[in-house]
Amino acid sequence: MKTYRLLSVGLLVLATVACNAKTPDERRTAGTMAEYRELSRQLRELDQQQMASELRGAGLQKPAAAIKAKYFGFDPEQKLDFYRTEEGRRIADIVLSYQTPSGGWSKRTDMSTEPRRPGQAYGTEKNYIPTFDNNATSTQFWVMASAFKGTGDERYAKAAERALQLILQAQYPSGGWPQSFPLRGKYHDLITFNDKVVCDLLKIVSAAARGEEGLDFLPAPLRERAADSLRRGLQMIVDAQVVSDGRATIWGAQLDPQTLAPAAARAFEPVALSTAESAELVLFLMELEEPTDDVRKVIESAHQWFAENQILGYRWEKGQHDYRELLPDADANPLWARFYEPGGDRPVFGDRDGKVYYDVRELSLERNLGYGWYTKHPHKVLKKYAKWRQRHGG
């Protein structure tokens, strides 16, 4: 048995979890998928047991609703002096109150109005569990780190440590991260490059490993684990780059956590190479101070793929019958389709019927307008590549 001390605003909660072997905090990383899924189960149980205890204490049958917000209801891009103010401490305390026993936070939940009450849901999602989607958990980690650096309040340091602990525990044995942890099933369990999930988490473990961005307060053992996590995460990116006919290309938006092959997610997100997510990965890799030879090779080959597949002379906007389509424009910046067929470099599109289409005009109007089927994001890679090559190309 192990006792967990869980800090929230004005409340010290004790939660106890029985485990067959090691407890979640004692197990540094899961070496096998079976161990990983068992760790996920333990952490889910930890969250559920804490909520059940709160409901009994509050005399509630079900959790009170949290307040919905598009993001979190506050501006997370604040300087340290903000957290020394009364308003800054108020925001930090509210954010702290929404940290789950397992160590994460929700998305689409207001964390600016008032602290979470005992028996109130941690988030607005149905059957909520912590997530890394939509910048959740990564945003709150940085808020807690900044609040500690600005105030010296140990509560915030401990919250940041617990969040980093969850991030490290959530990393698959293969090196990637799911969209949510504890696991919730379906496409949420895939390694997720979409919405910058992996990049956001790699930035945290990278900064933690080096004690950068004010993270020198983290315990040395945790920073050592972060360094190992960074190494495994970078190796996963190298291993997951899709090679077709002996030629390295880019990456899928979601990957099978064991094979690292591109995987389908929602009905309109087919198995495909994904340009926006791949560009985000390359931009992250280009920021590394000392990239390995393998990392340099994937940057170079991905840049080459982007250069060869750019669409010139068109812009993406509404045309006839309100459909968005490619319209001629000699002055437009380069475009790329969001998805390409692996092995053929042919743009593909999806709809809610689960079918794959090769012409965006064949989609329903709802999906044509409701998804970013073309992107300019890889243009940033092309613009930054020359300077990166000068520094690291060798």
Catalytic residues: 134, 266
Looking at the predicted structure, is the pLDDT value of residue 15 above 50?
A: no
In the prediction, which pLDDT does 67 show?
Answer: 96
For residues 276 and 305, what is the distance between their CA atoms, to the nearest angstrom? 13
Q: How far is CA 115 from CA 118, 127, 277, 392, in A?
A: 10, 20, 34, 47
In the prediction, which pLDDT does 28 show?
Answer: 53
Looking at the predicted structure, is the pLDDT value of residue 213 above 50?
A: yes
For residues 183 and 68, what is the distance between their CA atoms, to the nearest angstrom? 22
Looking at the predicted structure, is the pLDDT value of residue 31 above 90?
A: no
Q: Which domains does the chain have, with CATH numbers?
A: 2-240 (1.50.10.20), 241-394 (1.50.10.20)
Q: What share of the chain is helix, strand, coil (3-state, %, to 5)?
A: 45, 15, 40
The pLDDT-based confidence of 321 (bands split at 50, 70, 90) is confident
Residue-wise pLDDT tens digits, 281-293: 999 999 999 999 9
For residues 57 and 72, what is the distance between their CA atoms, to the nearest angstrom? 27
Residue-wise pLDDT tens digits, 55-73: 999 999 999 999 999 899 9
| 378 prior amide bond cis, ω within 30 | no
Contact call for residues 21 and 33 (beta carbons, < 8 A): no
In the prediction, which pLDDT does 12 show?
Answer: 30
Q: For residue 212, give every residue at least 6 positions away whose Cβ sits within 8 Å of its Cβ, in sequence order, or none.
A: 206
In the prediction, which pLDDT does 62 show?
Answer: 95
The pLDDT-based confidence of 129 (bands split at 50, 70, 90) is confident
Q: How many CB atoms lie within 10 A of CB 222?
A: 17
For residues 289 and 92, what is the distance between their CA atoms, to the nearest angstrom? 32
pTM of the model: 0.91
For residues 52 and 60, what is the distance between their CA atoms, to the nearest angstrom? 9
Report which DSSP code applies to 61: S
